[in-house]
Amino acid sequence: MSLFGTNTGFGSAGTGVFGTTTTDSHNPMKDVEVTSPPDDSISCLAFSPPTMPGNFLVGGSWANDVRCWEVQDNGQTVPKAQQMHTGPVLDVCWSDDGSKVFTASCDKTAKMWDLNSNQTIQIAQHEGPIKTIHWIKAPNYSCIMTGSWDKTLKFWDTRSPNPMMSLQMPERCYCADVVYPMAVVATAERGLIVYQLENQPSEFRRIDSPLKHQHRCVAIFKDKQSKPTGFALGSIEGRVAIHYINPPNPAKDNFTFKCHRSNGTNTATPQDIYAVNAISFHPVHGTLATVGSDGRFSFWDKDARTKLKTSEQLDQPITACCFNNNGNIFAYASSYDWSKGHEYYNPQKKNYIFLRNAAEELKPRNKK
């Protein structure tokens, strides 16, 4: 049985799978293309944790599937397995030991995928689509955290059909991130809540949004001692806020910066502002990558407050990104993010996942 369904495969339909045209704008950065990408927009990407040897990438898409590839050291990607939901997949995450993958979907369920046996089992149920899923590994418990558009945040022990805990949120969950013992959830109507996860999850603080527009993505960063100390929050209008939880000097330490905008220097024409679709922090250097609707990715050093690099423009928005566990690989997905509604959706357009060597480009400016 074909691993990844019937529509795509090596050399089927579509052009440019292996670079038939030289300066095709679908891959201006000439990065490695992942083979057998999903048939519809990619909503999320996640690399395997360090506990597992090798690099495995999972990606969820709007074609209701989750795919897993092995990324070999020579850059080759090998499709490994695939699972389906009954609705588009919105988020994926790995367990800390790398044996399980958790997937969250519009079908209001979350599933646990055991990679060894290639079996899935449903582990969570919500009243609305589940937008975020994260694995929490605490000294005294382990669980899954799911954030949904039904305005609840639920915690699940995978062995039980009922949630261990359910927290009510003021609005629908739009994005979340977890770095033990901290979790951040950004909701609709610019809500922002920080949770602390020690002993059991509880709401720690509600923060007034540093941004003026809809929240779109969030990522927690750590300090020099590898403790979570703040987060980066991206909005729908080309801006990212860096926010520390307990800074010595909030007015000076917290800041926002513009990104994913066009015509920077040319003031004659209006500046186009794009949504920031995802933010990822480099696991080693602490620098961050942002990807946007404009089809570019950028690397930033938040401590030096500088931009490290901006890519060329791809012909589609970049919808997801992530780093592998040692920070050598940066994966980003090129597909339509629905930023302009359904009129601009072309189901025939191919979707891509690219891999880039991230070892050098994300080194911070002031190397200590």
Q: Which is nearer to other proteins, 33 or 107 (CB)?
A: 107
Q: Between 292 and 321, how does the x/- string for binding to other proteins read (CB under 8 A)?
A: -xx---------------------------
Helix/strand/coil for 251: helix
Residues 67, 100, 134, 216: which binds other proteins (CB under 8 A)?
216
The span from the CA of 144 to the CA of 155, in Å, is 5
- Residue 209 CB, nearest distance to other proteins (Å)? 9
**Residue 116 CA: distances (Å) to CA of 1, 14, 56, 94:** 18, 33, 13, 13
Binding segment toward other proteins, per CB under 8 A, in 68-76, 122-130, 158-166, 306-314: 122-130
Structure tokens at 197: 């996860």
Residues 20, 117, 270, 368: which binds other proteins (CB under 8 A)?
270
Subset of 18-77 contacting other proteins (CB under 8 A):
39, 43, 62-63
Residues 52, 164, 188, 245: which binds other proteins (CB under 8 A)?
188
Residues 104, 130, 176, 275: which binds other proteins (CB under 8 A)?
275
Binding segment toward other proteins, per CB under 8 A, in 74-82, 86-94, 116-124, 135-143: 86-94
Q: Which residues touch 237 (CB under 8 Å, ≥6 apart)? A: 212, 213, 214, 273, 275
Peptide bond into 364 cis (omega under 30): no
Structure tokens at 53: 């040897």
Q: Under the criterion CB under 8 A, does residue 327 sit at the interface with other proteins?
A: no
What is the DSSP secondary structure assignment for residue 266, as one 8-state letter? Answer: -
**Residue 90 CA: distances (Å) to CA of 94, 238, 305:** 14, 22, 31
Binding segment toward other proteins, per CB under 8 A, in 22-30, 147-155, 219-227, 356-364: 147-155
Residues in binding contact with other proteins, number by CB under 8 A: 47
- Residue 200 CB, nearest distance to other proteins (Å)? 22
Of 34, 24, 28, whose CA–CA distance to 333 is shortest? 34
Q: Which residues touch 39 (CB under 8 Å, ≥6 apart)? A: 5, 7, 8, 61, 63, 65, 351
Q: Which is nearer to other proteins, 69 or 149 (CB)?
A: 149
Task: Provide the residue type at 278 as one letter.
Answer: A
Q: Which is nearer to other proteins, 156 or 174 (CB)?
A: 174
Q: Which is nearer to other proteins, 269 or 366 (CB)?
A: 269
The whole-angstrom distance between residue 164's C-alpha and the CA centroid of its chain comes to 25
Are 297 and 27 in contact, with CB atoms under 8 Å apart? Answer: no
Of 98, 150, 100, whose CA–CA distance to 121 is shortest? 100
Q: Which is nearer to other proteins, 8 or 158 (CB)?
A: 8
Are 115 and 81 in contact, with CB atoms under 8 Å apart? Answer: yes
- Residue 318 CB, nearest distance to other proteins (Å)? 13
Q: Which is nearer to other proteins, 26 or 216 (CB)?
A: 216
**Which positions touch other proteins (CB under 8 A)?**
7, 39, 43, 62-63, 87-88, 90, 106, 127-129, 131, 149-151, 168, 171-172, 174, 188-189, 208, 214, 216, 236-237, 250-251, 261, 267, 270-275, 293-294, 337-342, 345, 347
